[in-house]
Amino acid sequence: SSVLEIKDLQVSVETDQGTIQILHGVDLTITQGEIHAVMGPNGSGKSTLAYTIAGHPKYTVEGGSITLDGEDVLSMSVDERARAGLFLAMQYPVEIPGVTNTNFLRTAKTSVDGKAPAIRGWVADVREAMTNLKMDQSFAERNVNEGFSGGEKKRNEILQLELLKPRFAILDETDSGLDVDALKIVSEGVNRAHANNNLGLLLITHYTRILRYIKPDFVHVFVNGKVAEQGGPELADRLEDEGYDRYLTASA
Ligand code: ADP
Ligand code: MG
Ligand code: MG
C-alpha cells in the first residue's frame, strides 16, 4: 500500500502584519485505505495543513517533510501532486468561469491518468456518479462551481473524487454548511470512493457529526498548529462530549 507521510511539518504564512508561523511540527502518517479524522478548534491550522499538502503558494514550508511512498511531495508542482494520486478538496471550492464541469472533469482525468479516458465509458461514468450524488445532469454543462450553492459545490468536489480515483484525498470541512440530507449523500460518495478505490482519507472537520457517516480508523486532535492527541474513533466521541476546552486550557 501507498503511504503519505507528514513529518515535523512547520509552515508559515505571509500576512499584512508579516510572516507568522502556523504549523509547529505536525506528524501524521496515512496508509492507503485508512481514514484519518483531523479535528480541532477554529484557527488551529487545519486548513493550513490542507493548503500545504495542496501546494498553495501562500504557505511556506519552514521545516519538515511530506512524502508519498518516499517521494518528496513538497518539490512537486500542483499538477504533479495530482498525478501522484493526491486529491484536495478545499474548504472554499473555487469557481472557474468559462469552463464547463464536464470539460473540467475530462481535462483533469486526462491529466491525472496521462491519457484521455475512452469516451463512451467516461460519459457513462460521469452520468452514474452524478446520479449517485443526486446531482441533476444539467450540472455537467454548467461552469465549474459558478453560482452553485455551498452544498452543490461540496457534491461537485465528491464528483471529482469519485471520477479521478486518487490514492489519497484531503477533505477540508466538506461537512460545513451541509444539511443532513446533503451530508448523507456526500458521505456516501466518500465511502464509495474508500470502498471501491482503497482511498486513504484525511478528513478535516470541526464537528463530529460527519463521523457518524464516515467512520475514522484514527482521530487526531489539532491544537495550535500541531497534533495534541491521537487515538481511535472513541476519541471523537469524547470530543463530542467534552469539546476542545481541555486542550486549550492545557496549552494556555
Ligand atoms: P483552521 O482551518 O483550523 O480554522 P487555519 O489554518 O485556517 O485554521 O488558520 C490558522 C491560523 O492561521 C489562523 O489564526 C488564521 O487567521 C491564520 N492564517 C491562515 N491562513 C492565513 C492567511 N492566508 N493570511 C493570514 N492569516 C492566515
Ligand atoms: Mg479503511
Ligand atoms: Mg479551516
Q: The C-alpha cell of 249 is what? A: 486550557
C-beta of 17 in contact with ligand 1 (< 6 A): no
Pocket flag, ligand 1, residue 22 (CB < 6 Å): yes
Question: Which tens digit of pLDDT belongs to each residue from 79-103?
Answer: 899 999 999 887 667 888 899 999 9
SS3 percent helix, strand, coil of the chain, rounded to 5, is 40, 30, 30
**pLDDT tens per residue, range 185-195:** 999 999 999 99
Question: CATH topology for 3-251?
Answer: Rossmann fold (3.40.50)
Ligand 1, pocket-test mutation among 23, 46, 48, 172, most atoms within 8 A of CB: 48
Domain ranges across the chain? 3-251
Cell numbers that stand for 153 in this block? 459545490
The answer to whether the CB of 46 is under 6 A from ligand 1 is yes
Residue 9's closest CA among 68, 88, 62? 62
pTM assigned to the model: 0.94
Report the candidate in 107, 101, 104, 102 with the shortest Cα–Cα distance to residue 143: 101
